[in-house]
Structure 1
Amino acid sequence: MRSFPVRLPSGTRYWTVLDEDLAVVAEADAFLRHVRFGRDQAELTTRTYAGHIALFLRWCARTGRDWRTAAEELGLFVVWLRYGTKEATGADRPSTEAGLVLAGPGAEAVRKPARIENVLTGVRQFLLHGITEKAVPSQVLALLYEVADDRDLPPEARGEGMSYRMKARHRVQVPRAPRDRATDAEIVALFLACRCARDRFIVLLLARGGLRRGAAAGLRRQDVHFMPDSTALGCHVAGSHLHVVRRENPNGAWAKRQPPGSGQPVPVDVLVVRAYDQYVLERMERPHARDSDFVLVNPQELTDLHLRFEERGGSSTPLGRPTAS
């Protein structure tokens, strides 16, 4: 069992699961297509889920279990994940001895609790979809979840009075470490280490704008409204800002959840605006940079494209659109 990328004729990609004979696992493929197109989630989300499902189906195949009813023994699956080496749990077909998981006293875990908990989450979603599609017996639902009250939830998540919810039966305790945000000194040091205006703009965009890397890499020039008043552009958001829009990008960038409409407006300060101005001046010096609608482009790649085109005796018309970084 292994995960595998699929590219449709439209160019859209998602990930599926192949069995030992490199045939598509129909039930897994149906779930992953639902995640990609039914839920409109990112390609990387299907990649993550495909890896989780492949591990689960691999465990079932190598231990002689039917994946449709193996939910009652997910505790053993957790042990397999925690102590199984790459030779025992990897996609390559192991020998009889290599497929065994033997963990003696003091054995160190191979996978961290957070990783195991993520795998369990993907497996539960896969089995729930199978129950909905009548591919998995309905009684498996009781093996996945139990009825629990809300006393273990934080106060802001509780309802009025006593309420009940579905709680996963199999869980792994994940240590909650505090988030380690980069200090101002670290951000400044990274800013000073940048060798071009584009990289300095990226540092400030992530540090002061709070954008994820996928959102930053997917920005188009039409999303940038760095003016006090953008009414002339049809935008009524006041002040300098940019719009994070979820769209299909050829570079694979994908924005997280956002409200419907023209995207999520993100305010920016004067430092980000000035960094962008310097980057625009740098970008204008690169041949054919205007042909890319992406905000972030690779300046060196654009220069190499121009030089290769001139060596072939071409005119000012570019051979192709520059690639966004």
Structure 2
Amino acid sequence: MTVVGGVVVVAVGVQLLDLPGGGRSWTVLGEDRLPIEPVEEFLEHHRLIGSSPNTVRSYAHALAGYFGYLAAVRVDWADPGVAGLTGFVGWLRSGGPPGVRTIGVAASGGAAPATVSARVAAVVAFYRYLESAGHRVRVPHASTAGPRRSRFVGMLAHTQRSPRPAGVVRVARSRSGPPPILTPAQVAAVLDCCARRDPGSGDWTGSLRDRLLFALLAESGLRLGEALGLRHADWHTGGGTTGFVQIVPAEHPHGVRVKNSQYRRVYVSAELGRLYGDYLWQVADTAATRGLTVDDGWYVFCNLTREPLFAPTRPETVYALVRRCRRELAGALPEEWTPHWFRHTHATALLLSGVPLHVVTRRLGHAHVQTTMDLYGWVSDEAAMRPVAEWRRFAAGWPVGAEDADGQVGS
């Protein structure tokens, strides 16, 4: 059974936490409505080392399900063994009650392969942390594998003295195709769904903030968190030169952050700069009604129509906007599109236009060029392989000599 400190533990759910300073995090509660100690220690470790709040939330949901499963099948969390972990995997896949084995087709409601892989990875990370922290636990060896796994090996990899044992439980990630993208017409439809400009008067109707956000994502390839973290001091409109936004790692009230914690500069078009200028005037007019002036330290994307005014926009607000656009543009866009599709679209467009891979890597903020290759290598492959379809035309021009006396083709 699942016991912590001599007490049987049944995970009852994930609890949202409001942290000092306006941040958010998550923990897992036991049946006594208190945090489960080893889980909370693991989550607090990730808070302290600066892991993304989304990472903490994902770990919390995975471990809540895991501890709930172990309690249901009466397996000790400190030593679940291979059977405990494989049973958890089977339960996730089946969607049925814990401990009930299904044969053949899994019950409806089972988790997708990607979800199973992510939750198993969270469980293994939990045990590895506890092991490294000195807890007496047995790490269930598991691994996840998928089609995008890089074959890159460091130059000194052979010098490692204690390689981690191969996973006994191997969970394959779902085989997915190229990253999803939007067509130029679909991007334009999303922008117009947010705000439109009257060609006669030049006035905007709708939310100029929302249009600017999606236009920025589509043109720059920024991650949503990077865009929401921009301050007015980070946006340089040009003044005779090419404008740019600078991505600066910093704390954010809603936990969004710059991935890899690396500064970079992303150049943007004059058209996007003009859109930002129109929006800035709107922010300034709203501030004037409160006797305020726009400060360089204000976040670019903020509340303009509800209290608290000028508070930074939450990611949840953006996803509510996505749901509205999905309803209004039903049939015109894929139902599952998200803001991250703009990033995929931007990267794909750059590579199709011939921009070198290393330049795309720097613009996207990937830590390694291999990441860009793993995600978007298919673009270069398709461009390189396209001429193969015309092989007959190329072959028609090949010079072929007459057969010589030995029956060989001469050059």
**TM-score, normalised with respect to structure 1:** 0.75
Alpha-carbon distance between aligned partners in 2 of 1:12 and 1:125, rounded to the nearest angstrom = 24
The equivalent of 1:185 in structure 2 is 185
- Deviation, structure 1 residue 226: 2.1
- Deviation, structure 1 residue 197: 2.4
Q: Which runs of 5+ in 2 are unaligned?
A: 1-10, 196-206, 314-411
CA offsets, 1:182-208, max 9 Å, x none? 111211122222223222211210001
Alpha-carbon distance between aligned partners in 2 of 1:280 and 1:203, rounded to the nearest angstrom = 16
Aligned to 2:75, the other structure's residue is in SS state: coil
Is residue 171 from structure 1 mapped to residue 170 from structure 2 by the alignment?
A: yes
Label 1:16 to 1:160 Cα distance change in 2 as closer, same or farther (>3 A): closer
Q: Which residue identity does 1:246 align to in structure 2?
A: P
The equivalent of 1:295 in structure 2 is 300
Query: Does the 8 A contact of 1:7 with 1:13 survive in 2?
Result: yes
Label 1:48 to 1:161 Cα distance change in 2 as closer, same or farther (>3 A): closer
- Deviation, structure 1 residue 158: 6.5
- Alignment length (residue pairs): 276
Label 1:153 to 1:51 Cα distance change in 2 as closer, same or farther (>3 A): closer
Q: Which residue identity does 2:253 align to in structure 1?
A: P
Label 1:163 to 1:78 Cα distance change in 2 as closer, same or farther (>3 A): farther
Residue number among 232, 237, 241 corresponding to 1:226 in the alignment: 237
Residues 1-325 of structure 1 mapped to structure 2, 5 A cutoff: 1=11, 2-37=13-48, 39-73=49-83, 74-85=85-96, 88=97, 99-108=98-107, 110-137=110-137, 140-141=138-139, 143-144=140-141, 154-157=150-153, 159=155, 166=164, 167-173=166-172, 174-195=174-195, 196-227=207-238, 239-259=242-262, 263-286=263-286, 287-288=289-290, 290=293, 293-301=298-306, 322-325=310-313
CA offsets, 1:190-247, max 9 Å, x none? 2222223222211210001111212212211121122258xxxxxxxx8421122232
Alpha-carbon distance between aligned partners in 2 of 1:10 and 1:197, rounded to the nearest angstrom = 29
Label 1:161 to 1:43 Cα distance change in 2 as closer, same or farther (>3 A): closer
Query: Does the 8 A contact of 2:24 with 2:254 survive in 1?
Result: no
Q: Which residue identity does 1:51 align to in structure 2?
A: H
- Deviation, structure 1 residue 53: 1.0
Alpha-carbon distance between aligned partners in 1 of 2:170 and 2:271, rounded to the nearest angstrom = 45
Q: Which residue identity does 2:53 align to in structure 1?
A: E
Query: Does the 8 A contact of 1:214 with 1:253 survive in 2?
Result: yes
Larger radius of gyration: 2
Label 1:211 to 1:17 Cα distance change in 2 as closer, same or farther (>3 A): same
- Quick check: 112-121 or 220-229, which moved more? 220-229
Q: Which residue identity does 2:214 align to in structure 1?
A: V
Alpha-carbon distance between aligned partners in 1 of 2:277 and 2:215, rounded to the nearest angstrom = 13
- Quick check: 200-209 or 290-299, which moved more? 290-299
Query: Does the 8 A contact of 1:239 with 1:267 survive in 2?
Result: yes
Label 1:78 to 1:163 Cα distance change in 2 as closer, same or farther (>3 A): farther
Instruction: Give aligned-pair identity as a percent.
Output: 25
Query: Does the 8 A contact of 1:218 with 1:294 survive in 2?
Result: yes
Alpha-carbon distance between aligned partners in 1 of 2:226 and 2:247, rounded to the nearest angstrom = 6
Aligned to 2:259, the other structure's residue is in SS state: coil
Alpha-carbon distance between aligned partners in 1 of 2:151 and 2:216, rounded to the nearest angstrom = 35
Label 1:51 to 1:267 Cα distance change in 2 as closer, same or farther (>3 A): same
Q: Which residue identity does 2:245 align to in structure 1?
A: L
Alpha-carbon distance between aligned partners in 2 of 1:250 and 1:185, rounded to the nearest angstrom = 35
The equivalent of 1:92 in structure 2 is none
Alpha-carbon distance between aligned partners in 1 of 2:56 and 2:19, rounded to the nearest angstrom = 14
Label 1:187 to 1:247 Cα distance change in 2 as closer, same or farther (>3 A): same
Alpha-carbon distance between aligned partners in 1 of 2:80 and 2:249, rounded to the nearest angstrom = 37
Q: Which residue identity does 1:84 align to in structure 2?
A: G
Alpha-carbon distance between aligned partners in 1 of 2:208 and 2:236, rounded to the nearest angstrom = 19
The equivalent of 1:96 in structure 2 is none
- Quick check: 64-73 or 288-297, which moved more? 288-297
Query: Does the 8 A contact of 1:187 with 1:207 survive in 2?
Result: yes
Label 1:10 to 1:273 Cα distance change in 2 as closer, same or farther (>3 A): closer
The equivalent of 2:352 in structure 1 is none
